[in-house]
Structure formats: C-alpha cells, structure tokens
C-alpha cells in the first residue's frame, strides 16, 4: 500500500480540489483543478512538485487550472479518452477498466457517464480511496447534463458496489442541501437523520463534510437506495425498476 497524503483545497463557492502526494515515490497529483493559484500555493508550502493532473470530466470548474498548471510544472494530464477533445492539455487517455500507475499506487478507471457523457472516476483500491468527481456526492449525485437516468444509475451502481470502507473524495460541498432533500423523501430513515445531525454540526463550524464512505452512502443517499420500500412508497414508485426509481428521485431533486 502506497503512503498517500491528500490535501483538500476549497476553491470557488463550493468546489474541492485535491492534492495527492505519494511519499514513497515522490509524485504529486492534483485532482480536478478548477483554478491554479491555490494549488501552486499549497505545492510551494508543502515543497511538492506537481507531476500529474487527474481530470474526472470536462467542466470548467474541474479543468480550469489545467493549462496554467501544465505551463508552470510540465505535469502530465490524465483524462477520459472518449472526452479527449474537451480536456485541455490531455496527455494520457484512459478508459473503463484501465489502470493508471501513480508511482507504486494503482488506480482503476471507472467510466461513469450521466453527469457528462465522458465522466470517469479514479479508484485506488489498495489505499481505499475513490475520486468521484461529480458522479457521487454525499447524499447526492450530479445533475444529468448530458447522460440518461439509466446511464447514471448504472454508474452509481458500480460505485455503491465498492467496499463499504472506501473513502470518497467528491468535488463539491453540497451535503447539507442534499440531506434536506433526502429527508423530504425518506424521513423515517434513522441513519439519514443521524447523519444530518452530524452534517449540520460540521457546517455550523464551517467544516467540510467530505470525504465520506461508500457505506455512509448506502444507508443514507436516496440515489443509491431504490430498493428502500419506504422511499418507493413515499415517491409513488412501489415495485418499479431501479433505474426508474432513480430517475424519479433525480427529477424530484431537480425541482426541490
């Protein structure tokens, strides 16, 4: 298992950029750099040299810092092959099931379309780390800007089947708003009630609610819970297909 250190950098209104340093191999990656300046400041402070950019998708609040960082550090940019034309400065193109070596740490690439048609996630299985971009949020998931509900459900199902102790780093602090919606459609969920109590405490102190675990999501994220009979009943979707239940939950959230 590689010795990875992750630094969470809050940027813009509610984005998180992550720096990941592999102490064993002296390589450093930034995940979804919305902007470059805060990243360069933390690199300098830590004495790390940026070697990689890992992009999950093409949106500007995930790739906005790519070219500035590449100019400053000559780092390699990794992104989805299917979306290569929309990832600024891409050098390494990856696809579903590929492995990416970050020094001695190995990531498996998951193709997770839905939020966009070319979204990917990076799973470092040995280190129990998932960079989920905008596919999976704490108690939420990304809006369907380009993909279909069925695609997004299949993508989320891949992620919910990962080991429960997988630590998820997503790209936005949306948790409190997501939790309010979750409670509106599954108010009897005790795990959800308990989690929201903790989330409200953290947000009151301006603390991040990210990262979280896959198990946290299985028990409290309505987008991962189409099998929940109370949820099905509450939204009028009893006995429907999982992707249809997901689609209804997403529609309700879009209008919440």
- From 21, 52, 62, 243, the catalytic residue: 62
- From 21, 57, 58, 243, the catalytic residue: 57
Distance of CA 165 to the CA centre of its chain: 15
Per the annotation, the verdict on 134 as an active-site residue is yes
Per the annotation, the verdict on 172 as an active-site residue is yes
Exposed (0-12), middle (13-18) or buried (19+): which is 44, by Cβ within 10 Å? exposed
- From 61, 123, 216, 243, the catalytic residue: 61
Q: The tokens 């596919």 sit on which residue?
A: 135
- From 115, 119, 123, 243, the catalytic residue: 115
Phi-psi sector, 139: left (phi>0), alpha (psi -120 to 50), beta: left
Structure-token pair, residue 41: 């400041």
- From 59, 119, 123, 243, the catalytic residue: 59
Neighbours of 41 (CB within 10 A): 11
Per the annotation, the verdict on 58 as an active-site residue is no
Check if the beta carbon of residue 49 is closer than 8 Å to that of residue 29: no
Distance CA(247)–CA(199), nearest Å, equals 26
- From 83, 172, 216, 243, the catalytic residue: 172
- From 32, 52, 58, 134, the catalytic residue: 134
Residues with active-site annotation: 57, 59, 61-62, 115, 134, 172
């Amino acid at each position: 298992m590689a010795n990875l250190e992750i630094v969470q950098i809050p940027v813009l209104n509610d984005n998180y950029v992550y720096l990941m340093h592999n102490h064993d191999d002296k390589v450093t990656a930034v995940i979804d750099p919305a902007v470059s300046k805060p990243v360069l400041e933390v690199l300098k402070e830590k004495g790390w040299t940026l070697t990689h950019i890992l992009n999950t998708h093409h949106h500007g609040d995930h790739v906005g810092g790519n070219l500035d960082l590449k100019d400053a550090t000559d780092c390699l940019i990794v992104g989805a092959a299917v979306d290569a034309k929309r990832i600024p400065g891409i050098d390494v193109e990856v696809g579903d099931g590929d492995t990416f070596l970050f020094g001695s740490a190995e990531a498996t690439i998951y193709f997770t379309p839905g939020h966009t048609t070319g979204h990917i996630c990076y799973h470092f299985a040995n280190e129990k780390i998932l960079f989920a971009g905008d596919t999976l949020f704490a108690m939420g998931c990304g809006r369907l800007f380009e993909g279909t509900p069925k695609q997004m459900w299949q993508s989320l199902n891949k992620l919910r089947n990962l080991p429960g102790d997988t630590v998820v780093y997503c790209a936005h602090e949306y948790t409190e708003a997501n939790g309010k919606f979750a409670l509106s459609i599954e108010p009897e969920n005790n795990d959800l009630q308990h989690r929201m109590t903790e989330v409200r405490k953290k947000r009151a102190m301006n603390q991040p609610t990210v990262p979280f675990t896959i198990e946290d999501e299985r028990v409290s994220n309505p987008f991962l819970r189409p099998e929940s009979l109370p949820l099905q009943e509450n939204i009028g979707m009893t006995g429907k297909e999982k992707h249809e239940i997901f689609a209804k939950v997403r529609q309700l959230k879009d209008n919440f």
